[in-house]
Structures are given as structure tokens and as C-alpha cells.
Structure 1
Amino acid sequence: MELKWALLLGLFLPSCSGCAIGYTFHKRKCVDEDECVIFPVACGDHAQCVNTEGSYYCSCHEGFKMSLTGLCIDIDECSDPDVCGTNGDCYNHQGGYSCRCNQGYSNYGNNQSKCIEMDCDQFGPLSVDHTPEKLKHLMSLLKKSCESLNDPRGEHFTGEELLRNVFNSTDELLSEGNIADGETLNQFLDVVENSMRLIGPQLKEPLTRMETHNTFAEVAVMRGQTPPSGRVTLRTDSALFSTSWETVVGESYPGFVFAALVSYKDLNSFRDLLHKMSRERPDDEERSVTYQLNSKVVTAVVSNAETKQLSEPVTLVFTHEEERAESEGVSYSCVYWDEAEGAWSGRGCEGAWSNSTHTVCYWSHFSTFAVLMALYPVQDSFDLVLITRVGLALSLVCLFLCILTFKFCRSIQGTRTSIHLHLSISLFIADLVFLCGISSTHNQVACGIVAGLLHFFFLSAFCWMLLEGVQLYRMVVMVFHTTLKHLYMYLVGYGVPLVIVIISAIAFPAGYGTKRHCWLSLDRYFILSFFAPVCIVVILNGFVFIITVWKLARKFSSLSPDLSSLKQIRSFTVTAVAQLCILGGTWIFGFFLFQEKGTEVMLYLFIILSSLQGALIFIMHCLLSRPVRTEYYNLFVRMCPHKKKAEYSTSPSQTSSSQKPLRSDGSTAESQI
């Protein structure tokens, strides 16, 4: 007090140096005098001295106010009856106060916040018998932590420790696959949301980030006597959440608020559970629309309890798991998990827009959210249907002519001709079934039969092509007995495909027929029951053709080659290789066609090449064969007797092996070569 009176008296004493009050003479000039240094206790114990130019002032500490005497005195916050709420007792102390909450109420460790009601019973035991043990243990942990908040003697966890324990438990739940049905999923999401409401207010840092194996979370917390304002933005590895603090606070402010965003990394693995979409559009089922999660599942939680109808929409930005632009067959939907229906729903979405990588959703409520990708079956255009029908009709006509030619043209009978006959029969039946039944998806049984027939006859065609490669190899390497017994050919050409189809049907009968086509399903890699044997045949035939060409080259370079026979075998080999390329190349595009991502370009290429199969087989094995052309000419002359028969001669070397009929002892034209 003596120092303070000395300072007050100093205001009226004249300055000997000639400087104004609050200044001192230093180095021939007047400089400011720091009263806070000269008199460190000038403002007393509960204030801070702030120096100014030529003077100073006192700033009271928090919890104190300036009295008329110029000293800072304690503020009695408890004079406000609502400072701790109606369910807490206020205790004033020097420089502050604390609230002690009544039983059943808590301020979550924020001693200068209002007491709000707690519901620890929400973490009580569930009535459902099949609740996972890990989930029960987690709920027991949360209940103990909840009850300890207004029990000073209870076991306390910090907010960070409790958050870590919760996420470790959710990691185990998700990793072990304990969430097997919609009811368990509802329980899991409820526990996560309620745990964030319990943990959020207890976190000390303004922003907390935590990442574990299966979860990623970010929590923002604000405390103070006045409600916060402005925007709050939270980010996880796959989503962004943005809203205003006013929305987070709501109508009442207890002295603290929080906002949390939780992302689940492996929740997408429960596809059968999560891909269910509530049928808000009745025509979806008729159009066979399928839904696929294309984002991580996230839960947004705020301290405001009234979040069913927000006055201002909140924004969620999702990163797509799979980059696909919206098109006629693909659309994106912002959805939330509707616990009542046990399905995804779009109700409450105020707007959305998407590109190939992100979807932005505007919601009028808080919940668990995701982005669903709807896959619509693409309707075949008129020109595509026309090309399909005309092309396959042309292929069927050509294959039918091939069958008649190989069956009744006696001048070309032999093992190769028999192979070509059965190859043409297999392709003819396969193309006919494809043309008539590939789109018969309305009848599941009929669709499965169509898929089984296509599986069998297309495999049979490849097996007969393998036999042709083996026969060519025998014709080059072996001089005598180059024929194959028909029994062996039938066992390979029809027996092997039949065994594959029977095993496949027993192993996965639901694999025959899909929602888009009557073909093999992609589930459980069932499509490999066709493409694996096809790849084996193509590789074996390629290997056989390489050896055949090498052997032919050696024979051509020998001292006395049989040029006529070698040239004929060479032409056989060239047509066989071309035939393998056409049929194999067709199914390269067919592999992509029957996937969910099959494009229209692949469909056009597949149809064009399918139609070329029959035409090219007819051209290579019939029109380019001189004996067959001779037979066609003779048939034409017999059908038109008024036409003069023209001379059509062939050299003996050209016809000695190809035109000689099959002898009664079973030898063939190939044996003559």
C-alpha cells in the first residue's frame, strides 16, 4: 500500500529532469518508464500489470474483477443459479468455482460446465442371445467408465485411454467377423455412436486423431463460457465432414461441445450385409438393379442430441473405392444405415453430386453414412441386337453347310474330316443355344440349363481343335497308322467336357446363370471352369503347332521330300492355326464381355468374331478345298441338267490323297499321305 501511495503522490511531484510524468531522462532524452518493473506488485496478487506509453494499467485474472478501490477481487460465479444447471451444486473458491453434479448427472470432468443427464443404462446387457462376447465386453467397459464419472472413488480412464480401448475392441470385432447380421450391426453402430458421446467431452486436446488397424477417427472439442462459432471440418482417410459449430451446439450449451467422424476400414467386407438397399423405387427389382458399396462406411456424431432434422445441412465428401464415372449403367447414391429397416436408405439427403473419384452428400441429420453404386443392366440397342441375330444366323448357315459337306462329301473322308464334322456340330449347337437362350434370365432353371449347354459345347469345340492339332502332328511324324480311333476321339471331344461340366455343377450349381446372362457366374471364380480348360487347350495346341511346323521345315529341307504331301499338310496346319486364332480370339473378348464391367465395344467384337467362326470354317475347309469345290460343281450340274458340264480337271498328285474314298479296312486319306 505504501508503494501505491508513493506512486499516486509521484503524479503531483514536479520532475527535476523536465520530462513528463511516466517518463525518465536517459541519455539526454525522455524515455518511457516501465512502472510494472519498478513496482512489480503495483496491481496486487490477482492482476497483471500492463505497461503503456507513459503509464500502466492492471488487468484482473480470470475469476476476478476490478473493485472501486482499484484492486481485483474474486467473482462469485455461484451467484448465477444456472451456472451449474439445475442438477448440480456450485462451490465458489478464490478465482473460480466448481460444479458438483447430482447422482445420474455429470459434466464429464469439466468442473466448470453444467451438469447434464447421463444414461449409463444404454451400455447395459443386451437381450439378444447371439451378441458377440467382444461387444458385450466393450459395453461393460463403457458402462463402468460412465458410472465412474460422478464417483470420485471409481476407476477412471482418460478420454484418450478410453478411445484407444474402444478402437482396439472394434478392431477385434471387425477382424474376427462377428458382425454377421443386421441386428448385430445395429448394436455395433449404436455402441460406437454412444461411446463417442461418452468419450468426446473427456478429450483434453482441441483436436484428437486416432488410427488403428480397422478404424480411423478425428474428434474436435471446444470449451468455454460462450458457445463457439464458425465452421468445423474433420477428415479421415476416406471422407471429409463439415458443418457449423452452431449446428453442433444446438439449442443448449453446457460449456463444452464436440464433433467426431469415425471411418471403418474393413466394414465393407461384410458385403452380403451392407449391399442391401431399401426399395424406395419399386422398379429397381424389376430392372435387376444391383448395389455395391463404393466408399468407406463412416459415422458422424456431435454433442447436439437433437439431430433428426437439422436447420442447416451438413456436408460429407466421400472418396470412391473404385473410380468409375456416372453413366447410363452406373449411378451413385448417398445413403445412411436405417436401423429400423436394416438397410441403406437415401431419406434425408438434401442433395449430392459425383464425379469418377468423389461424391459430395448434403444431409439433414447425423447417422452412419456411405456411398452406394447402383449398377443398372445396360439395355441392348437395336443395332446390336440386329448384328447379333444376323451374325449368328450367318454362322449357323455356314456351319450347317460344313456339317453336310463333311458328312456326305466322300472324296475328303478321313480322320481330319471327322474332327471337322464334330467341331462344326459343337459350334452349331453352341451358337444356336446362344442365339435363342443367352438372355433367358427370367427363368432361373432354364437359364441354368442354357449356361450348362453353352459350357459343354464350347468346351467340346476346343477339345476337337486339340484333336486336330494332335492329328496333324501324327501326320507329320508318323508314316503309317496316322488315324485316331473314333472311340478315343469321342472320349476326348465329348467325354472331357462332360466330366468338367458334371464336376462344376456338383461343386457350385448356382454358378450356372447370372442376372445379366445365362452364362457362368463370376462368384467363387466359377468362370475358370471354362477359361482354364480353354487356356490349356490353346497352350497345348500352340506347342503342337510349333513342333509340327518345325518338323515340316525339316522334311522340306530333306534330300527327297514328298512335296505334294508336305504342301497339303502345310495347308492343313495353316488352316488349323487360323481356326485356333479365330475361336481363341473370340473368347478373349468373351472373357471381358461377361464380367460386370463388360463394355459395348467388347460385345460388338465378340458378336462379330462369333459370326465369323462359321463363315471362316466354311471358307477354309470347304471353299478353299479343290475336292470340295469339285463336289459342289458336280452337285450344281446334277441340279441343273440343262447346263453343259464343263471340264474341271485336277492333277493326279492333287487328288491321289485327298479324293480317294475311305477303304473298307478303315484306312483314311491321311494314312495315304
Structure 2
Amino acid sequence: MSGEDTLNTVLTYIVDIFLILSMVGSGLTVITFMLFPKLRTYPIRLILYLCMSIFFAQLFFYVSFEAWDTIMCLPSAIILHYFFLADFIWTFCVAFNFYQMIVKRNRDAESFEKYYHLASWGLPAIFVVAIAATKNYVNRKNFCYMNAQLPVFLGFFVPGLLVVCANAVIFFFIAREIHDTLKNAPRSDKKEKSKEFRGTSRSFLDRSVLDFGFIMTFFPGGVAEMIFLVLFSITTPLQGFLIFLSYCINDKVLSNYARVFAKCLPFCSRWEHLGSSTTVSGTTGSNSSTSTHSSRSENLSSSTNSVSMTPIK
């Protein structure tokens, strides 16, 4: 076995493991916020829709390998393509919602939700119908998917690349806004705001990781392609798992689970109050300049904290 064959075999195992972690993570995220309605704020609802898309896209990725010689080949190829596109667009919608909340400080950001649904569920359907009408879903070397480079380019590459570029621009504005707020915040506030910045950056980047698979297509053959193939295999399949770490591994979620499990396992009750403490931001009795900066910091805090604290309407 050549070195390239060995690498491909290793990457296959890595992708399989990471995809399973991603499906488990996205599934647990959906289950968690369906179980606890009080935690299901408007931004969290968008995360749920994203996780649903991730779960079904990655599930039918496996099915498309197993169903290549059955009657399920065509349906699995269509569903796989549909939910991957939905994943792309929901990623953009979540990023745009962060922009509205943090940069624009739009208190009516929830009014955009109906447009998010139209785009995320409607646009993929248009692509899928167009490609199905031209009979471009087939068995492709024991894998059910699109059968030619042009449909793959127009129906997968272009939408994905546009989302990656748009998310990069949005993150720039969000990072700049948070950086400016941190710079102008009182010293006593900076530690808390730094935590918010790291949390917001991590959760945003989890959904906006640059898809190295797109870059890989510009470097066919050679060492460059191999490097981006490794990066693609490591980063891309973990999306659902990273979202789970960002949104479910925290005191609020753990305290809710502790209350549930305490009914059968009394020792879990010791963790019931993990998410009950709150931190008061800002300072009092400061001069007018500090008050202005603190106000701006509190506005940012209310925007970022609404991801987990705003009650569902």
C-alpha cells in the first residue's frame, strides 16, 4: 500500500469518527433545547434548525454510500444535497442574526425569522428540483450524488463559497464591534467582556469554519491538495459536535439536566443551582465617560447574553 493510500485510509477513519461525533452532538443539541423550553430563546431556535440540517445531511451522507445499488439511491442523493444546502444557508442566517444583535443592536431581530425559513428551506428546494429535472442525480462510483462537474459546481460549490465569504465578512464586523467595546470598557468590566468575546467568537467560528474542501479544488494534485484534504477531513465533519460544546456544555444546561436526573439519582441535586448565579456588569459612581463606556458594554452584554437568557415569546 502506497503512502497516499495509507493517508486516505486514515482520513476515512477520521471522517467516520468525526461525523458520528457531529451527528451525536447535533442530535443532543436538538434534544436538549426541546426538553428545556425556558432555554429555547429565539437565537437558540435558529441553532436548532441548523442542527437539524446538519444531522440529516450527515446521516444521508452515510445512507448514500449504502444505498447506491438500491431503489433508495435517487431519494438519498436528493435528500443529502437538500440538507447540505440548508446547512449552508442556516449557517449564514445564524451569522446574520449575530450581526443584527451585536453590531446593529436590533431589538426586533426576531422579525427576520420568517425570511430565514424561506431562504433556508426554499432555496435548496429550487436547486434540487432543477438538478433532478436534468437527471443529474445518479450512482457515482458507489455513491449516490450528482454525476457531473457542472451540477456539482453550480449546485454545491458556488452556494457554499458564497456563504463562506459572507460569513467571513460578517464575522469581521462582529469582531470589530466587540473589540471596540472591550477597548472602551472600564477596567473592571474588561474581564467579563473578554469572556463574552471568546464565547461569541468560538460559537460563531464553530458555524463559520472555512470549508477547506472549497479551497482544495483550486489545488488539484500535489502537496497543497493533500494539506487541504487533511484540514478538510479534520474541521468540516465536526460542525455539530462543536455547536454542542458551545451551547450545551454550560452551567445553565447542566443545572437543568441535574434537576431531571435528581428525580432518580438524588446525588445530582447538588448541581441543580449551577446556572442560578448572575454577574452584574458595569460600575457605579464613575465619571460620565466611564458611564458612557459602561452603557455601551452593557448593550453588548445584553445582545450576547440573549443567546441563552432571552425567554421565548
TM interval, short-chain normalised? 0.7 to 0.9
Distance, in Å, in 2 between the alignment partners of 1:384 and 1:392 is 12
In the other structure, the counterpart of 1:622 is 248
Distance 1:643 1:328, change over 3 A: closer
Helix, strand or coil for the counterpart of 1:515?
coil
In the other structure, the counterpart of 2:59 is 432
In the other structure, the counterpart of 2:291 is none
User: Alignment partner for residue 76 of structure 2, among 437, 444, 450?
Assistant: 450
- Mapped contact 1:466–1:540 kept (Cα < 8 A): yes
Helix, strand or coil for the counterpart of 2:144?
coil
- Mapped contact 1:460–1:494 kept (Cα < 8 A): yes
Helix, strand or coil for the counterpart of 1:438?
helix
Give the C-alpha shift of residue 478 in structure 1. Answer: 2.3
Q: What count of residue pairs does the alignment treat as equivalent?
A: 282
Distance, in Å, in 2 between the alignment partners of 1:484 and 1:433 is 32
Distance 1:464 1:639, change over 3 A: farther
The answer to whether 1:662 aligns with 2:311 is yes
In the other structure, the counterpart of 1:369 is none
- Mapped contact 1:520–1:527 kept (Cα < 8 A): no
Larger CA Rg, structure 1 vs 2: 1
In the other structure, the counterpart of 2:129 is 502
Distance 1:514 1:567, change over 3 A: same
User: Alignment partner for residue 97 of structure 2, among 464, 471, 484?
Assistant: 471
Give the C-alpha shift of residue 553 in structure 1. Answer: 3.0
The answer to whether 1:568 aligns with 2:196 is yes
Write 1 or 2 for the structure with the bigger share of helix: 2
- Mapped contact 2:258–2:268 kept (Cα < 8 A): no
The answer to whether 1:634 aligns with 2:266 is no
User: Alignment partner for residue 405 of structure 1, among 32, 38, 49?
Assistant: 32
Aligned ranges for residues 197-216 of structure 1 at < 5 Å?
Answer: none
Give the C-alpha shift of residue 560 in structure 1. Answer: 7.8
Question: 1:162-207 CA distances to partner (integer Å, 9 max, x unpaired)?
Answer: xxxxxxxxxxxxxxxxxxxxxxxxxxxxxxxxxxxxxxxxxxxxxx
Distance 1:514 1:552, change over 3 A: same
2:200 aligned partner, one-letter code: F
The answer to whether 1:529 aligns with 2:155 is yes
The answer to whether 1:492 aligns with 2:141 is no
In the other structure, the counterpart of 2:20 is 393
In the other structure, the counterpart of 2:214 is 588
The answer to whether 1:423 aligns with 2:50 is yes
Question: 1:325-352 CA distances to partner (integer Å, 9 max, x unpaired)?
Answer: xx899xxxxxxxxxxxxxxxxxxxxxxx
- Mapped contact 1:459–1:533 kept (Cα < 8 A): yes
The answer to whether 1:554 aligns with 2:189 is no
Give the C-alpha shift of residue 565 in structure 1. Answer: 7.5
In the other structure, the counterpart of 1:540 is 166
Give the C-alpha shift of residue 615 in structure 1. Answer: 1.9
In the other structure, the counterpart of 1:414 is 41
Question: 1:301-326 CA distances to partner (integer Å, 9 max, x unpaired)?
Answer: xxxxxxxxxxxxxxxxxxxxxxxxxx
- Structure 2 residues not aligned, in runs of 5+: 282-300
- Mapped contact 1:399–1:425 kept (Cα < 8 A): yes
Helix, strand or coil for the counterpart of 1:509?
coil
Tell me the TM-score normalized by structure 2.
Answer: 0.73
Distance 1:643 1:407, change over 3 A: closer
Distance, in Å, in 1 between the alignment partners of 2:137 and 2:45 is 33
Distance, in Å, in 2 between the alignment partners of 1:381 and 1:480 is 49
Aligned ranges for residues 90-239 of structure 1 at < 5 Å?
Answer: none
Give the C-alpha shift of residue 535 in structure 1. Answer: 0.7
Distance, in Å, in 2 between the alignment partners of 1:523 and 1:611 is 23
Question: 1:580-635 CA distances to partner (integer Å, 9 max, x unpaired)?
Answer: 11xx435337859x99xxx9987766554454222212112221x33223323333
Distance 1:479 1:588, change over 3 A: closer
Question: 1:113-166 CA distances to partner (integer Å, 9 max, x unpaired)?
Answer: xxxxxxxxxxxxxxxxxxxxxxxxxxxxxxxxxxxxxxxxxxxxxxxxxxxxxx
Give the C-alpha shift of residue 502 in structure 1. Answer: 1.7
Aligned ranges for residues 646-661 of structure 1 at < 5 Å?
Answer: 646=271, 648=274, 649-653=276-280, 657-658=305-306, 660=309
Give the C-alpha shift of residue 557 in structure 1. Answer: 4.3
- Mapped contact 1:586–1:606 kept (Cα < 8 A): yes
1:532 aligned partner, one-letter code: V
Give the C-alpha shift of residue 519 in structure 1. Answer: 2.2
Distance, in Å, in 2 between the alignment partners of 1:472 and 1:566 is 17
Question: 1:424-481 CA distances to partner (integer Å, 9 max, x unpaired)?
Answer: 11110111111122353334x6333222211111111111111111111111212421
- Structure 1 residues not aligned, in runs of 5+: 1-326, 330-377, 667-673
Distance, in Å, in 2 between the alignment partners of 1:416 and 1:464 is 12
Q: Percent of counterpart pairs with the same letter?
A: 24
Distance 1:586 1:431, change over 3 A: farther
- Mapped contact 1:406–1:420 kept (Cα < 8 A): no
Distance, in Å, in 2 between the alignment partners of 1:566 and 1:605 is 29
Aligned ranges for residues 320-339 of structure 1 at < 5 Å?
Answer: none
Distance, in Å, in 1 between the alignment partners of 2:203 and 2:196 is 11
Helix, strand or coil for the counterpart of 1:527?
helix
- Mapped contact 2:182–2:193 kept (Cα < 8 A): no
